[in-house]
Chains A and B, each alone.
Chain A
Amino acid sequence: MPIHVSLIHFLFISAILFSFGVYAVITRRNAIMVLMGIELILNSANINFIAFGRYGGVSLDGQMASIFVIILAACEAAVALAIVLNIYQQFNTVNVDEINALKE
């Protein structure tokens, strides 16, 4: 029986990927890992865009939005890594638990 791939499967995958991303963002101590979690979240959003674009019957808006997100994600990764690099230079660590200077 051929597996009929439908919108719900994509959304399901996307949700799982989002959850992994959120989990990574919440639990990882390493700032790099947190950034990677954010990438996962962004990608889950991309899957959603593309899925709605394919099955929603609405031109190519979804694909366009996801390409836009990828570009932004690249920019964001560049900026975020630069921040992390600076934090490392400042605190000598990239462990987010130890960087709590804003608390006081």
Chain B
Amino acid sequence: MTQELLLQLSTAILLLPLLSFLLLIFFGKRLPRQGDAIATSILGVALLTSLVILIAKLSLFHDELLDYTFTWVDFKNVAGIGPLKLDLGIMIDNVTAIMLVVVTMISFVVHLFSTAYMSGDVRYSRYFAYLGFFSFSMLGIVITNNFFLMYVFWELVGISSYLLIGHWYEKKSAADAGKKAFIVNRIGDVGMFIGINILWANFHTLTFDGVFSAMASGHIPFDSNPWLTAAGILIFCGAIGKSAQFPLHVWLPDAMEGPTPVSALIHAATMVAAGVYLVARVFPMMTADALVFIAYIGAITAFISATIAIAQNDIKKVLAYSTVSQLGYMVMGLGVGAYAAGFFHLVTHAAFKAGLFLGSGSVIHAMHYALHHQHDHQTDPQDIRNLGGLKNRMPITFWTFVIYTLAISGIPLTSGFLSKDEILAGTLAFGQLTGHTLIPITGFLVAGLTAFYMFRLVILTFMGEHKDATRVEHLHESPKPMTIPLVILACLCFFAFYSFNPIGASSGWFFHAVERPMSVVPNAVAAASVEVFEEALHHSHATAMYLSLTVAGLGILLAFATYYWKKVNAEAIAKAVAPVHSFLVNKWYFDELYQATAVAGTVGLSRVLGWFDNKVIDGAVNGVGSITKLTSFVSGKFDNIVVDGVVNFLAYLAGFFGLMFRKVQTGRVQTYIAFVLLGVMLLFFMYRGV
């Protein structure tokens, strides 16, 4: 297998979902089963091809970077700038190859799951078409080798996410959530756009390689280190939006209005991972200051959303905040310099969080069915207070859900343990090297919180007794297309896929394949070098493992004590700290804050502008209009009376004389003769004297 073939195959992977989209959007209704089988098998082919690429890449070209670049636009020599051209292309490194498998894998299982979950939906084929479109955009982000295409696919991901969240747009909350996701993302994208423009203005190239090699040769934006930091942070703004980081995390929980498989695909595994992927891609150009900023944003996000997740009662909302929290983890991991660990957590998290969402989808599906049988339209099927005791009714869903929960809580033998442990060790090393001890503290605190709220979710949903004895009879395990994806994803939660050592990933293929890239920023502003960091990491590894196991164990124990053995009365605690509880239930009042500031400010400004438009501009236009009307009226009257009057008068005069002289024209020759006679006599008398 040659490099060319590998690049051609990866282009094929990119275009396959686009083919699925085009087929389904144009012919979806006419295809058998509305095209879901075609879409799913296309993604299956893409998944197999991605696996081939990953294996080939790792075994044949392990340390090489496969790149294909072509010049898209050549501006030739531009006055004052010099030669200017825009290069585009694709590249395959180990990170890309792994991401290709992650995206196609999640997309494939979500397609499969959706064939059962969405059956009977009004826009069934369009739903699958949008899934294909989303996969295409996401693969584009992964595969591209330049900021330009990255930005294009970035926006395509945004629009396909908007379309999928608003799939049930008849529901106002779904339509609003779609808009919110799109607009909030746009705020972050503006920052990214400015960052990209800074790079273009300085380097006249947008390929990653071109930008980084220019920086490595000592050329930095505007010859100033603060500008370099600013460019890094601005590009990171795109990740803040897309990966739902504080302060733009508010869109993701609302995005749960979309169909649950969409939540699994977009809002757990792929789209939100795009931000993390972006940070990993531009990691070499990040200065130490920018990385500290990134680490703090990640830590703040992880902490805020973990606290919110404790107090939520909607099964999907808990998972949504958990996702935001875990994304914060990844960003924090990258920020502290644990590059491979952050990216590793992205991959492992994609599997178990997609599984958690699909599992919740399975529960919601079963509840919908049961409630439908009872003709109950009031009970919310997503509220965990209405659930409970599903363990025996839905064994596959339950056991897979437990595996995912163990993974996300960081219990040994799971993939989550490996990735989380590496990140925590990284934060510890970072704390030692730089003195930012708040970050490791937050990291361990969040690890405990995660274990607590995830087990709270499992216990309230699956254990104990179901609230309604008749309803429980109608609850059944979901059909095969829904349980198979759950099993596949549960398998991927085992450590063996990533490293044969169950307590340390650093010896596995993953950490071998994904190495922290060399920084290209000047030494004065660079973060601790790889060697220094690895050294500190080595020492903190064991500490991190014991500490994280302790906090996770404590969190699980607390969850069981509170919700299973009922030793601790959760409601009494909630009452005792009522202000804190309502603060958490209301999600730290972020929505209210943004409503009062950003939204109200925008609306207020719009009102003022509207008033200006209505009164001043319209007034001016209307004033000119009425002046024109007045002058027209006057000149109209002048025309009607004076000009027409003269014309009419002349016509009347002509008519009058006509009438008068008409009398003379009698038609009798004799009269004329008489006139002639009179005329002759007149002439005679006139010239008599001459």
Contacts and interface: CB of A to CB of B under 8 A. Distances in A.
Interface of A: 22, 25-28, 34, 96-97, 100, 102-103
B669 A103 contact: no
22 contacts: A22-B673, A22-B677, A25-B670, A25-B673, A26-B670, A26-B673, A26-B674, A26-B677, A27-B670, A28-B670, A34-B670, A96-B668, A96-B669, A96-B670, A97-B668, A100-B666, A100-B667, A100-B668, A102-B667, A103-B665, A103-B666, A103-B667
B187 to A, nearest CB: 90
Contacts of A27: 670
A96 B667 CA distance: 10
What does DSSP make chain A's interface, helix, strand, loop or mixed? loop
Nearest to B672: A26
Contacts of B669: 96
Contacts of B677: 22, 26
Contacts of B667: 100, 102-103
Residue with the greatest number of chain A CB neighbours at <10 A, chosen from B666, B668, B674: B668
A102 B668 CA distance: 9
A81 B670 CA distance: 18
Contacts of A28: 670
Contacts of A34: 670
Which 7 A-B pairs have CB atoms at the shortest separation, nearest pair first?
A: A103-B667, A100-B667, A26-B670, A26-B674, A26-B673, A25-B673, A97-B668
Contacts of A25: 670, 673
Contacts of B666: 100, 103
A65 B461 CA distance: 147
A34 B677 CA distance: 16
A28 B670 CA distance: 9
Nearest to A100: B667
Interface of B: 665-670, 673-674, 677
What does DSSP make chain B's interface, helix, strand, loop or mixed? helix
Contacts, number: 22
Contacts of B670: 25-28, 34, 96
Contacts of B674: 26
Contacts of A26: 670, 673-674, 677
Contacts of A103: 665-667
Nearest to B668: A97
A102 B669 CA distance: 10
Nearest to A29: B670
Given A22-B673, A27-B670, 11 more contacts: A25-B673, A26-B673, A34-B670, A96-B668, A96-B669, A96-B670, A100-B666, A100-B667, A102-B667, A103-B666, A103-B667
B400 to A, nearest CB: 110
Residue with the greatest number of chain B CB neighbours at <10 A, chosen from A26, A28, A96: A26
Contacts of B673: 22, 25-26
A34 B665 CA distance: 20
A96 B671 CA distance: 11
A103 B667 CA distance: 5
B670 to A, nearest CB: 5
B672 to A, nearest CB: 10
A78 to B, nearest CB: 20
A16 to B, nearest CB: 15
A50 B666 CA distance: 38
Nearest to B670: A26
Contacts of A22: 673, 677
Contacts of B665: 103
A34 B670 CA distance: 9
A27 B667 CA distance: 15
A82 to B, nearest CB: 18
A97 B669 CA distance: 9
A25 B668 CA distance: 11
Contacts of A96: 668-670
Contacts of A100: 666-668
A36 to B, nearest CB: 14
A10 to B, nearest CB: 20
A34 B667 CA distance: 16
Nearest to B665: A103
A1 B284 CA distance: 162
A34 B668 CA distance: 12
A80 to B, nearest CB: 13
B116 to A, nearest CB: 97
A28 B669 CA distance: 11
Nearest to B674: A26
Nearest to B669: A96
Nearest to B667: A103
Nearest to A28: B670
Contacts of B668: 96-97, 100
B326 to A, nearest CB: 107
A97 B668 CA distance: 6
Nearest to A97: B668
A1 to B, nearest CB: 34
A100 B668 CA distance: 7
Contacts of A102: 667
Nearest to A34: B670
A27 B669 CA distance: 11
B665 to A, nearest CB: 7
A4 B325 CA distance: 157
Contacts of A97: 668
Nearest to A25: B673
B677 to A, nearest CB: 6
A90 B40 CA distance: 104
A27 B677 CA distance: 13
A28 B666 CA distance: 16
B587 to A, nearest CB: 100
A104 to B, nearest CB: 8
B369 to A, nearest CB: 99
A34 B669 CA distance: 11
A29 to B, nearest CB: 9
A59 to B, nearest CB: 30
A102 B665 CA distance: 11
A81 to B, nearest CB: 17
